[in-house]
Amino acid sequence: MKTKLLIEQHFHGCFGIDFNKASVDDVLYLSKEILKYGIGGIFPTIVTDSVENTKRAISVIKEASTKQTKDMAKILGIHLEGIFINPEKKGIHNPEHFKLPTVENFKLIEDDFIKIVTLAPELDNGLINYLKEKNIKIQAGHCVGGDLDGCNGVTHLFNAMSPITHREKSTTLSALVNDEIYTEIIADGVHVSDDALKLVFKTKPLDKVILISDCLPCTKSDLKEFTFADERVYYDGIKATSKEGTLAGSTTLLPDIIKRLANAGLFTPEYINNPYKYHNIDLNGSIEWDTNWNILKVNI
């Protein structure tokens, strides 16, 4: 089996590197190493942080993108997750840094390298329309609202959003019944049960499912304890959580998620193509897989 290279549009780091704290060399190293796993395009994802730290992280990632070589996963832009989210669904994010989703607040950290913004649409005060004018992908996440008007997608479906209800709208329900909405999903076996995955795959159009890892710096590293989003995080070899047990993100790269789904009979190769369509991009290169969805070769 041969497919396109994978695109990862939502992950916070790996190999011991955190995009919120990384240097230019760190980002370049990560982009080179991750291509070996068949991931040819990346949207480094910045978690909620201070305005100053957010601007620094954006600047570092943007500079790294200008220094890449052909043996690196292409940095396609930044996914800004946080700052404009709802404290009711904060997850691991630090609410001290939250700001209302207004144009004025976005301009505090605005940069043309931001390509995806996760926000709480129920708190919107003009930012959604502004982002649409800039052709920035708008994703509902860490939110409770059921009105997804103006959104292109949802961030990690089920996680950190209002759940399915049978008497009123919710973020999850609206995402499932709207065939135009793209849905990120963390299919690592920890964040979402296989039964819930089956519901998504039966409900959503095939081309609207985007597999993500939402992985953390401890992924493919020896880290067992680290600080992420101003919170101490503990990795037990399966999941990474705060001291109180809040999931901080996954610890699995996309090719491992694909293999897990394939073994459960839940994977279709079409999912690999969906980020290309969502972002209207193309990448050179391919992956050769064996019949068990192990990577045999990455062609660049």
- Write the CATH number for 266: 3.20.20.140
What does the pLDDT read at residue 144? 97
Range of the domain at 117: 2-299
Give percent of the chain above pLDDT 90.
99
**Average pLDDT value for residue range 200-210:** 98
Own/partner pairs, 288-295, CB within 8 angstroms, 24+ separation? 288/1, 288/2, 289/1, 289/2, 289/3, 290/1, 291/1, 292/259, 292/262, 292/263, 293/1, 293/255, 293/258, 293/259, 293/262, 293/263, 293/267, 294/259, 295/37, 295/38, 295/255
* pTM of the entire predicted model: 0.98
Residue 34: pLDDT band by 50, 70, 90 thresholds?
A: very high
Contact between residue 140 and residue 148 where contact means Cβ atoms under 8 Å apart? yes
Distance CA 126, CA 293 (A): 44
Residue 266: pLDDT band by 50, 70, 90 thresholds?
A: very high
What does the pLDDT read at residue 56? 98
Give the count of domains, the chain: 1
What does the pLDDT read at residue 180? 97
**Average pLDDT value for residue range 255-282:** 97
What does the pLDDT read at residue 182? 98
Percent helix, strand, coil in the chain (nearest 5)? 30, 25, 45
Mean residue pLDDT across the chain: 97
Residue 57: pLDDT band by 50, 70, 90 thresholds?
A: very high
**Average pLDDT value for residue range 116-122:** 98
User: Which residues are part of the catalytic machinery?
Assistant: 214
